[in-house]
Amino acid sequence: MNKKLIALALAALPVAHAMADVTIYGTIEADMESSKTFAAGVGKAANGAGQLKSATRIDDTGSLIGFKGNEDLGNGLKAIWQVEQGLSIDGTTINASNTFATRDSFVGLQGAFGKVRLGKLSTFLNSDAGAPDAWIYGNAGVNGLSYSSINQLDGRVKNAIRYDLPEVVAGLSGAVLYGTDESRAVNATTGQRQNQQVWSVGATYTNSGYFGTFGYNRFADDYVSGNTLKGGNYWRLEAGYNANNILAAAYYGQSKLAIGDGSTGTDATFSYLFSSVANSSPFTSGSELKKKEAGITLGYTIGAITPKFSYGRVWGASVNGADVKGHLNQYVLGADYALSKRTTAYASYGYVQDTYQDNLNNKYSNEHTVAVGVQHKF
């Protein structure tokens, strides 16, 4: 619906003056893809030892809708709020409870001191970093840097408070986030009360198109080592140039987290890769997983077309202190086509070379995804 018509409709309401600062925004996007990936979950047999078959998919790649607004409180102070939730236009249920606020949702204050928000909030790496993964893709595809921490680890923290610093130095921004553990559940292994609080810090500096970003996240009582609760963490450094139609971005990071389902404080990098294989140890849930990652993305805009290429690598994995042989190499090639300022068509191809093996030395299939799609922002 035309935004001017919406504004006229609101103006006709008695409460229009109370709603005038509300902004409705969102993204609708989907693709058609041919995927041979572990996330797609199509194996040659139930016990296929990691051997895959291709499948055709129509995937929502990240649709969302949000509502946000502010109120001027005077003296440079504003009240701010936002409610945002994910959608699923392909018919797949990603929000089974039909609730709002599945994404960044908050209430807070903003002024010369910076910005303070309370709610479900992104870590700094999730909201202010991620330039190297400049791709549109779904959860089952590898036509993006799907094995990087940008995709696997960056996320949101519930029951959180976040403080964003004011821009004292031009181009410099930063934030600190703290997420509470309201349940303080008893750990089944140690019998101790655990505190799975989350800390996130980060900063970025941009100047004339050049940028550098660093973020660090710590998760207390993340996993059990022996009979002791241990904290996990990960960090990532990004740097590059994004101006004058050029994108050149690189990253390097390290992580030490519990193997899990991708919820806060766990690492799901290998979850699909080994989930359907009975003899996939040592990648078992709850174990300590350390690994390294690095990658680079290059792109150049020519008129309405932006061809891009990415390379990512995951290596140096160890589980509970024992080295794991193997690595992942990921390659992505594609292009975006700007149909307008708000609508983009894209095509991409991703390939993952996997040298890991299970504990019976069975090799796993390499993965690939071919996709074409459309994204519209409003």
Range with lowest mean pLDDT among 48-62, 242-256, 278-292, 338-352: 278-292
Task: Tally the domains of the chain.
Answer: 1
Of the CA atoms within 13 Å of residue 315, those in its CB half-sphere come to 11
Q: What percent of the chain has pLDDT over 70?
A: 88
Question: Does position 15 have pLDDT exceeding 50, yes or no?
Answer: no
CA torsion sign for 235, 239, 243, 246 is negative
Q: How many CB atoms lie within 10 A of CB 303?
A: 8
Question: Quick one: pLDDT at residue 186?
Answer: 85
Q: Residue 17 — pLDDT band, cuts 50, 70, 90?
A: very low
Q: What's the whole-number average pLDDT of the chain?
A: 88
Range with lowest mean pLDDT among 225-229, 256-260, 318-322, 328-332: 225-229
Question: Quick one: pLDDT at residue 280?
Answer: 58
- What stretches of the chain adopt beta strand conformation (E)? 23-36, 55-60, 64-74, 77-86, 105-111, 114-122, 156-164, 172-179, 198-207, 210-225, 228-243, 246-259, 266-267, 288-300, 305-319, 322-323, 328-338, 343-354, 367-377
| Model pLDDT for residues 293-312, shown as the tens digit of each residue | 999 999 999 999 999 999 99
Question: Does position 13 have pLDDT exceeding 60, yes or no?
Answer: no
Question: Quick one: pLDDT at residue 33?
Answer: 95
CA torsion sign for 365, 290, 157, 70 is negative
Nearest Cα residue to 178 out of 159, 161, 194: 161
Question: Quick one: pLDDT at residue 81?
Answer: 98
How many Å apart are CA 139 and CA 61, to the nearest integer?
A: 7
Across the range 339-357, mean pLDDT stands at 94
Question: Does position 45 have pLDDT exceeding 80, yes or no?
Answer: no
Residue range(s) defining the domain that contains residue 306: 3-377
Q: What percent of the chain has pLDDT over 90?
A: 64
Question: Quick one: pLDDT at residue 52?
Answer: 81
Report the CATH number that the domain containing residue 138 is assigned in CATH. 2.40.160.10
Task: Please tell me what DSSP assigns to residue 193.
Answer: B
Across the range 9-33, mean pLDDT stands at 71
Q: Residue 21 — pLDDT band, cuts 50, 70, 90?
A: confident
Q: Which residues contact 248 (CB under 8 A, 6 or more apart)?
A: 240, 241, 242, 296, 297, 298, 299
Question: Quick one: pLDDT at residue 208?
Answer: 97
Across the range 322-328, mean pLDDT stands at 89
Q: Which carries the bigger pLDDT value, residue 261 or residue 238?
A: 238
Question: Quick one: pLDDT at residue 324?
Answer: 85
Across the range 133-158, mean pLDDT stands at 95
Nearest Cα residue to 52 out of 369, 371, 372, 285: 369
Using DSSP's 3-state secondary structure scheme, residue 26 falls into strand
Question: Quick one: pLDDT at residue 1?
Answer: 43
Question: Quick one: pLDDT at residue 25?
Answer: 97
